Amino acid sequence: MSVVEIDKVVKRYDSVTALAGVTLTFADGEFFGLLGPSGSGKTTLLRAIAGFIKPDKGQIRLDGRDIGRTPVHRREIGMVFQNYALFPHLNVFDNIAFGLSVRGIRKAEQVSRVGEILSLVRLAGMERRTPRQLSGGQQQRVALARALVTRPKLLLLDEPLGALDKRLRQQMQIELKQIQREVGITTVFVTHDQEEALTLSDRIAIFNEGQIVQSGRPSEVYERPKTAFAANFLGDANFFEGRVAARGRVATEWGYLATNDDLPPQGQPVMLAVRPEKITIGPAAPVGASLGNRLTGHLAQAVYSGMSTTYRVTVGAREVIVFEQNRGDHVFGPGETVSLAWLPTHSVVVTP
């Protein structure tokens, strides 16, 4: 287990800045997710840690040691690629043992260590199968076993579950987290999948245009986003623009909205973000006296998805999205007049 420090790392490709002075620390034994759109810099950072690219500025330290000049094969880092990169002509045993062979590990120890890791990833008995004889989930476990068998200090995962279908991906999320906990290895993974980031990560960092927009525990970033980008990228959000009217009150074109967040001085512009699942939808009559924000609109669309229903409600000239868990209650239909309500604590002030 190890601590990784990313200190003001910069990487440019001609006129494009892929990393703009990124600073992060991955704690010992932590599962850290790098999240962001394509081209945001997350994969560039992962490849810089692995040693595949060299930063223009800054340091990458592993347990306090600058590894900037350390060759890839000497960094004590294991990596799993999105396409797994298994050798198609080698069986499961030889794929996993490859890294041990090139390190000159004795055959007897190879057999012992491969056996241990196969048991860990629940593939015991499949040593002689080739990759094409395995399912997608099994191939993913072989790639993970190959990365772990050399006992690295750090594990890097590049979109590790991206090639799997949804159901298998959800299953492998649970297994991957369990394996990481059993091994106790510091793990950094790249994903653009919001659900995957929330499920796997101890902490996350959201990237955009080579910079970290926000980092922290998944629940912190999701519940209290600092920017409109973070709110919109990690989940869905409704945004309301207005001006500060008084303490805890924002004047908008839809009326006054309440928030418990700190506000700028009176008269200053401000933006509020509200998660769709925080909003209660009901008949046109007021929905509960304790809720501090109310809007009235007309239902434009209701999409039933089994566990929940997504409502799109027209309020004035804009649309508000509402998620409601399926409890067997009344499902509103298009054209109905409805009331939307939410608590002031769910109105989060964000930077546009």
Domains of the chain (ranges, CATH numbers)? 4-225 (3.40.50.300), 236-350 (2.40.50.100)
Q: What integer pLDDT is reported at residue 288 of this predicted model? A: 47
pLDDT of residue 347 exceeding 70, the answer is yes
* pTM of the complete model: 0.90
Q: Which helix (H) or strand (E) holds 274?
A: strand 269-274
- Strand 154-158, strand 77-80: pairing: parallel
DSSP 167: H
pLDDT of residue 281 exceeding 60, the answer is yes
Instruction: Give every CB contact of residue 87 below 8 A, 6+ residues apart in sequence.
Output: 94, 95, 98, 131
Which of 48-57, 77-86, 242-251, 323-332 is least confident? 323-332
pLDDT of residue 297 exceeding 60, the answer is yes
Name the amino acid, one letter, at 110: Q
Phi, psi of 117 (to 5 degrees): -75, -30
Contact status, residue 117 vs residue 145, Cβ threshold 8 Å: yes
Contact status, residue 43 vs residue 190, Cβ threshold 8 Å: yes
Nearest one of 225, 232, 228 to 241, comparing CA atoms: 228
